[in-house]
Amino acid sequence: MSTSSWTDAERRVLDALDEQSLAETLIELVRVPSVTGTDAESELQHRLGERLRRLELDVDNWRLDLDGLLSDKEFPGTEVERSEGYGLVATSAGVGEPALVLQGHVDVVPVGDPDKWEGTDPFEARVSGDMLHGRGACDMKAGLAANLAVAAALRASGLSFERAFAVHCVISEEDGGLGAFATLRRGHTGEVAVIPEPTSGRLVTACAGALTFRLEVPGRAAHGSARLSGVSALDNYLALHPALTALEARRNRDVDPLFADNPLPYALSVGTVHCGDWASSVPDLLVAEGRLGVRLDEDPADARAEFEDAIAQACAGHGFLREQPVSVTWPGGQFSSGRIEPEHELIEQTQSAIASVTGDRVPLGAGPYGSDLRLYAGLGGIPTLHYGPGRVEMAHAPREQVSLSETLQVARVLAVLAVRRLGGHR
């Protein structure tokens, strides 16, 4: 760790950053089973609101107008039903709009098959050496804990700053970005934002998008013993699937240099397949849902059009589907891509903060996933990047884990960045 270039203010904030409290906060966060769309999502927002009020920040904790947001023409889509949702923004005192926003989402994906967790409760927050295991540990409660630790350290340092900072805690990132969308629609903004999603030791300056698709593949029902008198929707889908594989290959031929180390940045994945309603009947309908990767700077409408054209061409070359083509719809989350301008000062400022804490600069990269970055950078006009603890390969997995020391390191980097951007300390 390089300390020679630290100012007195930076040292004071770093000294105030409590390592033990950071670990305890992360454990507490993971133990709240805040699966997207559940009551625990709201519970955690209220807990965090109280925590931020204790830091004497100006806290806006509001109930979302779900009907109004869903009817907004720019609504980003959602995967799950929810009866309520809450926004949470905490802002410090200071002149003008916040000079830095630290954003994090409180929701996590479902745990999947509990047996895959090797006898461990996914929400136990088990610590083994330097690693903390549990659903949401990596994606992204470690980053959320780092944000909270920075806010607490800025307060505990006793310093006053000329510029304000803000902490945004949002719901529903995993299924479309409702929380970020609602936060921006409420008018919360900032000069720049950092979202500490897991970045595998890189500085992520761009994210691909992802569009949820639904295919309804028809067939003709018949008794299973008279299979030849029917047409299986499953067989029709299997005839269609090579068109999806070919489309994915075409869309990944020329990729942005930020994806240099990624062999498949724009994945096309079929996630669910439901077919038939009786074992001894030839199925007359197969429904498949999945995600289509959106290229950097690509209009999602163009991605949808290319997908639909590939399906139409495959149907045109198939005897049955030519007459009864596959239906394509776009339910659920619709993530466009997003990026910060390559020359924006926030990139170099973050690199400088990283180097002052770790002694090294880190490579720039892009995320193959959709994230709230595209809403903050696009809809909100807030230059935004990702830098956070954990490896994205661990996210959504039954082995989800995060390094406590890496989480502390990220918190220290964000603390230094905050001091430098807030300025005018005394």
Q: Which CATH class is domain 8-207+337-425?
A: alpha beta
Q: Check residue 146 and give its pLDDT.
A: 98
What's the distance, Cα to Cα, between the start and end of the chain in Å?
A: 25
Reported as a pLDDT band with limits 50, 70 and 90, residue 261 is: confident
Strand partners, 204: 365, 386
Whole-structure pTM over 0.85, yes or no? yes
Instruction: Taking residues 75-81, report their average pLDDT.
Output: 90
User: In 3D, which of 91, 88, 109 has the Cα closest to residue 101?
Assistant: 91
Q: Check residue 102 and give its pLDDT.
A: 98
Question: What CATH number has the domain spanning 209-334?
Answer: 3.30.70.360
Instruction: Taking residues 42-54, report their average pLDDT.
Output: 98
Q: Check residue 332 and give its pLDDT.
A: 83
Provide the token pair at 219: 């067939």
Query: Which run of H or E residues covers position 205?
Result: strand 203-207
Please say if the pLDDT value at position 25 is more than 90.
Answer: yes
Reported as a pLDDT band with limits 50, 70 and 90, residue 4 is: low
* 118 vs 192 pLDDT, higher one: 192
Q: What percentage of the chain reaches a pLDDT higher than 70?
A: 99
Other CB atoms within 10 Å distance of the CB of residue 300: 18
| Domain ranges for the chain | 8-207+337-425, 209-334
On average, the pLDDT of the chain sits at 95
pLDDT in tens, 311-345: 999 999 999 999 999 999 999 888 999 999 999 99
Q: Check residue 3 and give its pLDDT.
A: 57
Strand partners, 328: 215
Reported as a pLDDT band with limits 50, 70 and 90, residue 48 is: very high
